[in-house]
Structure 1
């Protein structure tokens, strides 16, 4: 009988110790491995931003050689540089939250790039390039604002907040602030 009580007491002490130790280590485990949920909007922003960045990188680089004005050439270089930096953040954030990104631009973006390329070296290129950039950036800014107000994942929201001033500046550059084609 003595051994049965000893074993029961020992088991109770062990169980209590495990409970206490588990409870004290739980916050550390949670903070190191917990990743907040990724909503449909969060995924949509990451996917659209990545594809948009791929398009902006391509068309920005294209403008550096295909534009006929120094202004479009310079803005193209700025967009190329900025969207490379923005996309690095998108790729890093997507990896952290477990979102798989598409490997290429959308079909519509590929068609737009080809249409722009067909005008390369002509004055029509500059006007068409600016005309294509404006709605793309406006659409991106609207999605960024929606993420900031309604997104759920803090990492994705933070990414959107940091991208917002860059995209807003690009809108000014292509619409009314820098180049007038």
Structure 2
């Protein structure tokens, strides 16, 4: 028992140190075969579930944008989102598996409806603006949940996951909020 606690403390200290140094330690921690000695709170599970479904939605809508967007800028941003959300989701899936948290197999109904609504605009000038507009609240909500997990989550693996995901999600939020592709948004849509 003492050995297990000692190993868990060592792993937590190591993870915190690596996180502070900016080293992405989560995949190595998530791949570890020993079970976590910490419980998984409702908030921890909420983050894992929402992050997984959000990543699935981001990947799906960004893949859609690769062929549906009218501008190279939106296609470029979408390619970055695909790459980043695949990487983020790999960490979520590994962490959830390690902690015994079952993840949903797909997006929420609301996300599926939003994906379909975007698809209906494919190939039109309105698609790019709609895609960018949909990205902001999705990333802002995820960022709020990440911050809540960092402040109040209980499981060190989930908190570490949130800390490592935060800069990526914040950068994505800034990209769509600052208007990296602002030129594609029609003047009537800018409110």
TM value normalised by structure 1? 0.83
Deviations 1:19-70 (A, max 9, x none): xxxxxxx322444555200000000000000000000000111111110011
Give the greater-gyration-radius structure (CA).
1
* Residue matched to 1:178: 180
Q: Which of 61, 64, 87 pairs up with 1:62? A: 64
Q: Which of 89, 94, 100 pairs up with 1:92? A: 94
1:1-181 alignment, distance < 5 Å: 26-30=1-5, 31=7, 32-180=34-182, 181=185
Superposition misfits of 4+ residues, deviation over 3 angstroms: 29-34
In structure 1, C-alpha distance between the alignment counterparts of 2:84 and 2:48, rounded to whole Å: 16
Q: CA 1:90 to 1:34, structure 2 compared with 1: closer, same or farther past 3 Å?
A: closer
Shift of 1:152: 0.2
8 A contact 1:35–1:97 mirrored in 2 = no
In structure 2, C-alpha distance between the alignment counterparts of 1:69 and 1:112, rounded to whole Å: 20
Deviations 1:89-111 (A, max 9, x none): 00000011110000000000000
Instruction: For structure 1, list consecutive stretches of 5 or more residues without a partner in the other structure.
Output: 1-25
* Residue matched to 1:15: none
Instruction: For structure 2, list consecutive stretches of 5 or more residues without a partner in the other structure.
Output: 8-33, 186-191
* Residue matched to 1:7: none
Aligned residues between the structures: 156
8 A contact 2:35–2:98 mirrored in 1 = no
Deviations 1:118-156 (A, max 9, x none): 100111000000010000000000000000000000000
